[in-house]
Amino acid sequence: MTEGAVGFIGLGLMGQGFTRRLAEKGYRVVGFDIDQGRTRAASDWGVNPANSAAEVARTCDVILVSVINTAAVEDVALGPTGIVAAGRGEDKILVDHSTTELEATQRIAAALAERCGMMFVDAPVSGGPGAAKAGELAIMAGGVEAAIARIPR
């Protein structure tokens, strides 16, 4: 495991803002995007590239996700190269910053808990990429208080 590293899946505009901010604050970031060009580009600002969501989950205890839609979150979490493919991770936390459907969010959280012991925090954001980079997003987090307390700020 990469000690103290934060995982980030989804390196589009929001992911770029998040990961730049995390790197600037001194966090080691391991990142993945299905677009390999985005993953390579993120290495320019200090993101350590991963080849899959499962690789991010194997190397980090806190994994942030910001992807395009509910189907993408399901694939990241439960797909064949998704987080569940990394195996058990009782001390791990998935933080979903994506905009998703409530029923799917509940289903994904339950599946992660059952299949790999991972905690889930639903944390949609208000603000854009600039606010993400500046650390000025409004984030509404829902989940177990102990998990929320461990999320990097």
Query: What single-letter amino acid sits at 77?
Result: A
15-31 tens-digit pLDDT: 999 999 999 999 999 99
Is 13 a residue whose pLDDT tops 80?
yes
**Please, what are the domains in the chain?**
5-149 (3.40.50.720)
Q: Looking at residue 89, what is its pLDDT? A: 83
Per-residue pLDDT band for 1 (boundaries 50, 70, 90) equals very low
Is 131 a residue whose pLDDT tops 80?
yes
| Whole-prediction pTM | 0.93
- Match 């600039």 to its residue by tokens: 130
DSSP conformational letter for 135: T
33-88 tens-digit pLDDT: 999 999 999 999 999 999 999 999 999 999 999 999 999 999 999 999 999 999 98
Is 2 a residue whose pLDDT tops 60?
no
**Structural contact between residues 30 and 56, judged by C-beta atoms closer than 8 angstroms:** yes
CA distance 7 to 146: 18
Q: Which two tokens stand for residue 43?
A: 């290495």
Which of 79, 35, 24 is closest to 57 using CA atoms? 79
DSSP conformational letter for 142: B
CA distance 88 to 57: 10
Q: Looking at residue 3, what is its pLDDT? A: 53
Q: Looking at residue 153, what is its pLDDT? A: 76
